[in-house]
Structure 1
Amino acid sequence: MGGRTATRLLPAALLLAVAAGCAGPSTAYKRDLHQQLAAGRYEEAAARIDALEHEYGERNQVLFWLDKAAVLHDAGKYAESDALLDRAELRLDALYTQSISKAAATFLWNDGADDYRGEPFERALLHVLRALNYVYLHQQDDALVEARKVSAFLTGLNDKLAGKQVYRDDAFAQYLSALLYEEAGRQDDARISRDRALKAYEWYATDYRTPAPSFAAEPLAPGQGELVLLHYNGIAPRKTSQSVQVAWNDAVAVVGADEEGRTNQQVNNALRAGIMADAITVAFPAYVQDPYQVRGSRARAGRLAVETQLVEDISAIARKALADRIAAIRVRAIARATIKFVLAKVAEKQVEERAGKGFGMLAGVLARSVAAGSEVADTRAWTTAPAEIRMARLPLPAGHHQLVVEYLSQAGAPLKVETLEVDVVEGKRSWVHVRSAF
């Protein structure tokens, strides 16, 4: 890289550093949103998301749609929720099929420089919410389409990651698909999805401490139907940035191990010289689970009382998914920060040779500031998703019922009671969901 080129790059790099700071909504915004969800003010939360759409930015449109769609789902606006989930799905499909041309920029700038492509478990949850939106809208055929789509997505994921101890299937999505297929009379599809759910719950028990729920259900008596209660509990963990100092020699070793030829000879020479550095500072993402009081729930209808079972621990899945790839994230971050530091020193030296020591020092300060300012962790995540999903299945006489939902503390004491009006149809399965975020 010539001195003139390095000098020209500095102003552009400064502008990019400012742009890099737009990594999605702020922590304060997320906390405010969580408070609205805890209070059950879903329409206010949706309005808040709309008002701050600009904070998401173009790279994070998928996150904007996901955040608002989940809130609208909780508000009972299922058609509006599905329209946003459809947009998110189409965008994710486009990002998946297109060439990842921004990969180099992501490596040289930061992991947030690319469009948000979502986590695999978020993609599965997208289809789960779409299927449930259609269930509540009594559009069973469309719900089955989502069941097929999530099954196809998870099959592809499982084939790609077979044998690896990572998130490779989604037990609850498969369980839900089995129930939808069963309701539609497609017993073979229901059996396949149920078998896959059971298999996934086997490693869920180890990786996420989520034991398999009871799949057994007594045959409905004449005049009975089944009510399925879904309880979305807590708020999904949020990502934060953690800064760590890495010894210079360790950082050089990471860059030296790069086999993709991203560093030129001049950078390698500077690395070997160890230019004025004892250590570099890098940033890694980490999940933080905000506490929530509700640890379980119980549904009562007449004399029947059933406690919900944990069917999906989204918080545990998210944290384990990050842990599974944190080593690769750290290596990439260390290599990137080291190269940026060296490029800054190279630019400083070349400007000094061309324009004098004072200009060289100024160029060095600017270049190092840009390098440090652009090295931020990617803290993007689906903000409005629940921390966990719980389920209860209640066989009830056909007709109208008052369903009492008790939100329970860790000790099993009721923290809050909510009453819902529900209708049960003979020989059919009815669905209802509740949300707690406090």
Structure 2
Amino acid sequence: MSAGRFERLDKSVAGGHYAEARCSLEIDKNRLYAGTDKVLYYLDAGMLSRFAGDYETSNTELSEAEKLIEYYYAKSVSQAVGSFMLNDTVIDYAGEDYEDIYTNLFMALNYVRLNKTEDAFVEIRRFDNKIKLLSSKYEQAIYEAKRQTEDSQAAYTRPDLHFHNSALARYISLLLYRSRGEFDSAEIDKKYMESAFKTQPSLYPFAFPSAVEEEFCIPEGMARLNVLSFTGLAPGKEEEVIRIPDAIGGSWFKIAIPVMYKRPSKTAYVEIEAEAQDGTKSRKTLELIESIENIAEDTFRQKQALLYTKAFLRAVSKTASSSAVSAALEAQDDEGLTALGGLLRIASSVFIEVSERADIRTSRFFPAEVRAGGLNLKSGLYTLRVSCYDKKGKLLHRDIKEDIPVQSGKLNIVESICTR
């Protein structure tokens, strides 16, 4: 998927023009997405719709993406065992694991905005169930693929998965329970959050947010305004080429596999300011609570083991027969046959070079990081300013939301997005 095709769309998103971006995506979808990119379309459309505040439409689109991911994943696993296609780009994109699981979490947040608490809890539970299945998701497929070859070069070791608990999911659940006065359940979520930080330090290499404890210390008669800030963009993918000598023909195998890379973000910190109608102002610096980009990379490593094994087997299937035929022809005591064998070897090498490509498709609009925080305020209407700064303190983006109602005893949550 060429990044250049999305240049105009990306500019609209970077400028915060989300409704415009969603409209452009719909107009240009046949140019931007191939027939095998339906999952990508629904993921991108769903995220842009929620950025634009159309939560009902977002849930419809994200739900469709989730259904297609499940269908295409089952289809791709069956293909992985016995099929030696040209490359993975010719099959339907089945999504990355982080795209699949975070689809449920963003649907949960959509339901929160739609005041459908029970539906939000359902999506959080589905998110949690998917995490539990991640560690064994590719195990059987990798085993079956490896079983087809005894070559040690195909034995790409499956890395351990670190991700097993999401602090962000627990935080959203905590807020929902706290807003209903179910503090025992909220305390359980707090403990799960603490465990996420302690047991997954590579995924949470930042301090546990003090905002969590503040959720249990709201002064009587005061209301709590919670803010979630989504910044940056989740990782992209690029192709990495590995060349392995071919013992049969004295040539090499070309293996092309996708690798994830983090897209740079200028946002270093985020501040919020709530201004009451009487001019009183309250300020807070939001704290990191989730690195979606870290989790995306961690969950992708498991899939990479399967992709490597498939690529190796595909390379073997492309070269083995032609190498054997070329060697047999070149061994004949006939100049014409010998020359034909040499030409076949060259043609085979060119075919492998051209046809072996990594699948670097990925969604474009999942955020990279999530920051959270809150303010204890008197009930009333507020103007909220969410300001994103770079490491030198330069303002990158300011999101101003007016007439925000803040009510005691209710969940008052506001989201802000800055993809810079």
TM-score of the pair, normalised by structure 1: 0.78
Report matched runs for 1:85-124 at 5 Å: 85-95=62-72, 100-104=77-81, 108-124=85-101
The answer to whether residue 285 in structure 2 is matched with residue 307 in structure 1 is yes
Residues 14 and 418 in structure 2, CA contact (< 8 A), matched pair in contact too = yes
Aligned to 2:52: 75
Partners of 1:347 and 1:295 lie apart in 2 by: 59
Residues 134 and 143 in structure 1, CA contact (< 8 A), matched pair in contact too = yes
Aligned to 1:275: 249
Range with greater deviation from structure 2 (112-121 or 233-242): 112-121
Partners of 1:39 and 1:347 lie apart in 2 by: 58
Matched to 1:33, the amino acid is L
Report matched runs for 1:358-397 at 5 Å: 367-397=348-378
Shift of 1:398: 0.9
Aligned to 2:405: 423
SS at match of 2:288: strand
User: Cα–Cα, structure 1 residues 282 and 94, in superposed 2: closer, same or farther, change >3 Å?
Assistant: closer
The answer to whether residue 180 in structure 2 is matched with residue 198 in structure 1 is no
Aligned to 1:153: 130
User: Cα–Cα, structure 1 residues 48 and 86, in superposed 2: closer, same or farther, change >3 Å?
Assistant: same
User: Cα–Cα, structure 1 residues 350 and 275, in superposed 2: closer, same or farther, change >3 Å?
Assistant: closer
Pick aligned residue for 1:49 from 14, 21, 25: 25
User: Cα–Cα, structure 1 residues 40 and 398, in superposed 2: closer, same or farther, change >3 Å?
Assistant: same
Partners of 1:434 and 1:105 lie apart in 2 by: 46
Shift of 1:113: 4.6
Aligned to 1:227: 225
Matched to 2:259, the amino acid is A
Report matched runs for 1:133-152 at 5 Å: 133-152=110-129
Range with greater deviation from structure 2 (337-346 or 308-317): 337-346
Per-residue CA shift, 1:275-311, capped at 9, x if unaligned?
A: 141x333222222333222211000114321111111
Residues 228 and 416 in structure 2, CA contact (< 8 A), matched pair in contact too = yes
Per-residue CA shift, 1:169-197, capped at 9, x if unaligned?
A: 32212221222233344555444433322
Per-residue CA shift, 1:40-89, capped at 9, x if unaligned?
A: 12223223333134543343311210111101111111111111011112
Residues 242 and 256 in structure 2, CA contact (< 8 A), matched pair in contact too = yes
SS at match of 1:52: helix
Per-residue CA shift, 1:10-68, capped at 9, x if unaligned?
A: xxxxxxxxxxxxxxx31212444332211112223223333134543343311210111
**CA-based RMSD:** 3.1
Aligned to 1:166: 162
Aligned to 2:151: none
Shift of 1:407: 1.1
Aligned to 1:179: 175
Matched to 1:419, the amino acid is I
Residues 322 and 348 in structure 2, CA contact (< 8 A), matched pair in contact too = yes
The answer to whether residue 416 in structure 2 is matched with residue 434 in structure 1 is yes
Partners of 1:52 and 1:118 lie apart in 2 by: 18
Partners of 1:196 and 1:334 lie apart in 2 by: 40
Partners of 2:201 and 2:6 lie apart in 1 by: 30
User: Cα–Cα, structure 1 residues 159 and 411, in superposed 2: closer, same or farther, change >3 Å?
Assistant: same
Q: Which structure features the higher share of helix residues? A: 1
User: Cα–Cα, structure 1 residues 180 and 153, in superposed 2: closer, same or farther, change >3 Å?
Assistant: farther
User: Cα–Cα, structure 1 residues 49 and 363, in superposed 2: closer, same or farther, change >3 Å?
Assistant: farther
Residues 205 and 212 in structure 1, CA contact (< 8 A), matched pair in contact too = no
Aligned to 2:323: 345
User: Cα–Cα, structure 1 residues 343 and 186, in superposed 2: closer, same or farther, change >3 Å?
Assistant: farther
Shift of 1:97: 5.8
The answer to whether residue 205 in structure 2 is matched with residue 209 in structure 1 is yes
Matched to 1:212, the amino acid is F
Partners of 1:415 and 1:99 lie apart in 2 by: 42
Partners of 2:202 and 2:326 lie apart in 1 by: 52
Residues 70 and 385 in structure 1, CA contact (< 8 A), matched pair in contact too = yes
Residues 105 and 113 in structure 1, CA contact (< 8 A), matched pair in contact too = no
Residues 170 and 200 in structure 1, CA contact (< 8 A), matched pair in contact too = yes
SS at match of 1:290: coil
Residues 80 and 310 in structure 2, CA contact (< 8 A), matched pair in contact too = no
SS at match of 1:116: coil
Residues 210 and 313 in structure 1, CA contact (< 8 A), matched pair in contact too = no
Matched to 2:271, the amino acid is R
Q: How many residues align?
A: 386
SS at match of 1:100: helix
Shift of 1:233: 0.5
TM-score of the pair, normalised by structure 2: 0.81
Residues 62 and 88 in structure 1, CA contact (< 8 A), matched pair in contact too = yes
User: Cα–Cα, structure 1 residues 174 and 44, in superposed 2: closer, same or farther, change >3 Å?
Assistant: same
SS at match of 2:361: coil
Range with greater deviation from structure 2 (69-78 or 143-152): 143-152
SS at match of 2:36: helix
Aligned to 1:264: none
Aligned to 1:20: none
The answer to whether residue 235 in structure 2 is matched with residue 237 in structure 1 is yes
Partners of 1:109 and 1:159 lie apart in 2 by: 27
SS at match of 1:118: coil
- Give the fraction of aligned pairs with identical amino acids, expressed as a percent: 27
Matched to 1:431, the amino acid is I
Partners of 2:272 and 2:285 lie apart in 1 by: 6
Report matched runs for 1:276-291 at 5 Å: 276-277=250-251, 279-291=252-264
Range with greater deviation from structure 2 (414-423 or 365-374): 365-374
Pick aligned residue for 2:108 from 119, 128, 131: 131
User: Cα–Cα, structure 1 residues 158 and 351, in superposed 2: closer, same or farther, change >3 Å?
Assistant: closer
Where does structure 2 lack aligned partners over 5 or more consecutive residues? 140-158, 276-280
Where does structure 1 lack aligned partners over 5 or more consecutive residues? 1-24, 253-270
The answer to whether residue 40 in structure 2 is matched with residue 40 in structure 1 is no
Shift of 1:114: 4.2
